[in-house]
């Protein structure tokens, strides 16, 4: 499960890579469950793309929220805090049936989570070695996700998102990471030219984007610990 990733630096990359203005209140460099995050979604007034509308008709917007989905059926803010830490990843195979993610998937509440890299633990030495996974070319990654907006009885609103994942047992790179003996998973990294198609696709076609990213386009490096204080 991917629970830690790096937000974009510098802020100019939001415009360069995703054609959106940078956030007025940027998230911290390291994003963890329930920490602030920004994600890109289709503007409410923008039409679906689906290859039927004019090219470029879809408009994107950058939204702030928290990392870790809060389903709309959650009853209280305290329950939302407990559940969201466990709902940072959504298995693509169950999004149409899971009570946690089904509403967001069928409601086309898809998003792109921009990041420079994500972290996975390498257990091959017998110890968990944090490892940074990034693109070989150093460019930002746009990871497929789902978003929700939860409103409590007192009017409190929590905007949240999660990352979509696929099986990585046979992936040439990602099969090395995460807990030994457990199924290997990897986040869904979108191709740069597919952002609008992902955001605008009909739910019945959105599953076509759920595939592993080429191992040859990724690099993995152990995280270097800083000097002791």
Q: CA 179 to CA 185: how far, in whole Å? A: 10
- Determine the pLDDT at residue 182: 93
In a domain, 56, yes or no: yes
In this prediction the pTM is 0.92
The candidate with the shortest Cα–Cα distance to 188, out of 225, 160, 163, 216, is: 163
Domain residue limits at 202: 5-222
In a domain, 78, yes or no: yes
In a domain, 16, yes or no: yes
Number of domains in the chain: 1
- Determine the pLDDT at residue 44: 77
Q: What is the CATH number of the domain that holds 217?
A: 3.90.1680.10
The candidate with the shortest Cα–Cα distance to 112, out of 140, 80, 151, is: 140
Q: CA 194 to CA 216: how far, in whole Å? A: 19
CA-to-CA dists, residue 165 to 40, 95, 130, 177, 224, angstroms: 18, 10, 19, 14, 26
Q: CA 187 to CA 185: how far, in whole Å? A: 7
User: Using CA atoms in the order 193, 147, 48, 57, what is the torsion angle rounded to 10 degrees?
Assistant: -60
- Determine the pLDDT at residue 229: 35
Phi, psi of 154 (to 5 degrees): -90, 5
Instruction: Supply the DSSP string of 114-159, one letter for each residue.
Output: EESEEEEEE-TTSS-EEEEEEETT---EEEEEEEEEEE-TTS-EEE
Q: CA 163 to CA 145: how far, in whole Å? A: 4
- Determine the pLDDT at residue 50: 53
Q: CA 144 to CA 163: how far, in whole Å? A: 6
Q: CA 75 to CA 153: how far, in whole Å? A: 8
In a domain, 65, yes or no: yes
Regions in the chain scoring below 50 on pLDDT:
46-49, 51-56, 227-229
Question: Which letter, b or e, does each residue of 71-93 get, where b requires 16 or more Cβ atoms within 10 Å of its Cβ?
Answer: beebeeeeebbebbeebbbbbbe
In a domain, 131, yes or no: yes
């Amino acid at each position: 499960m991917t629970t830690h990733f790096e937000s974009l630096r510098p802020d100019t990359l939001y415009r360069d890579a995703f054609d959106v203005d940078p956030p007025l209140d940027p998230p911290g460099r390291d994003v963890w469950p329930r920490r602030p995050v920004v994600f890109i979604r289709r503007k409410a007034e923008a039409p679906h793309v689906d290859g039927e509308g004019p090219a470029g008709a879809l408009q994107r917007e950058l939204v702030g929220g928290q990392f870790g989905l809060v389903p709309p059926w959650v009853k209280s803010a305290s329950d939302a805090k407990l559940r969201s830490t466990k709902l940072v990843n959504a298995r693509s195979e169950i999004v149409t049936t899971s009570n946690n993610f089904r509403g967001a998937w069928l409601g086309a509440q898809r998003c792109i989570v921009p990041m420079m890299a994500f972290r996975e633990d390498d257990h091959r030495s017998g110890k968990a070695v944090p490892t940074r996974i990034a693109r070989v070319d150093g460019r930002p990654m746009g990871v497929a996700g789902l978003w929700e907006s939860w409103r409590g009885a007192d009017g409190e609103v929590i905007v949240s998102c999660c990352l979509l994942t696929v099986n990585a047992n046979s992936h040439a790179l990602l099969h090395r990471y995460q807990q030994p003996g457990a199924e290997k998973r990897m986040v869904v990294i979108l191709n740069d030219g597919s952002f609008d198609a992902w955001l605008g696709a009909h739910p019945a076609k959105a599953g076509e984007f759920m595939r592993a990213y080429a191992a040859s386009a990724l690099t993995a490096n152990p995280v270097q610990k800083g000097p002791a204080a």
